[in-house]
Structure 1
């Protein structure tokens, strides 16, 4: 809903949420700046971006667990398939789901947000300040897309073709959705 993020931005109460307790003023300012951009998204753009964000968050958690050889990892085949799905979404500007359904990510505003996240993430591997900006963009997306993310996560989990255990979906919910819920 246009204006929804703007309502969060008024007085910026999100700055006091526990997830931001240890964050620097520069980080919080970057989140605020990204929230202004996200506020301009239409409801359909929010829904489409939320589906991409859900795929990205699932993939991030899978890749972290694989690297750490965590006991609850999904295995290299699912990790590679998850990575391939997200990479294809970035490259092809669409998310292909089971049954042939496709979510279009070609609109310039969506393309620019996704490209900015990728650019910051990759550049952030060598520059801690840019990595913090990537995290700020991700946090702003989690705030702005909060109402759409849970549905998008379930849709992605059921229609991506990946075998994602319930525990993984719950972990994404706990790590990336719940902390960004309005109190």
Structure 2
């Protein structure tokens, strides 16, 4: 586990869940965030697949920044203050405008932290951490790709979902088995 994730991540074993690893969206008011593992399903993956899957989830958890002062967080805060101010004024149009601004900005913050690009960035971070831990870049990419492709089989799902397909295509392009990575407009959805 990367050093930045040791203080923020709490590993929980729960064999009742249907997924191999579940990483609930981190709440900013919690000091540590759960990473829930189904131990029975986890053991069906190879050690290197488990390493890379674990590093991906920890990298995603540590990359989520809700309180970080950026444009959309600032707009959401201003919109929330405007909504409260307009509520005290009892101005329905102002409440709707400020509330709408808050909702749009909060939705953008949510998409930034949970969207496809966040997962692809977590893959890149996991590969960088794995390289510091002794994996070659090619091996790290290959093991992460194998883990992504093995998880639906272990979980008994029909196949990869959209985000997993996108991640797999990105990793295959890094390995050189696919000619082109996913288009930028698809990566940011």
Structure with more of its chain in helix, by fraction: 1
The reply to whether TM is greater than 0.5 is no
* TM value normalised by structure 2: 0.31
Larger Rg belongs to: 2
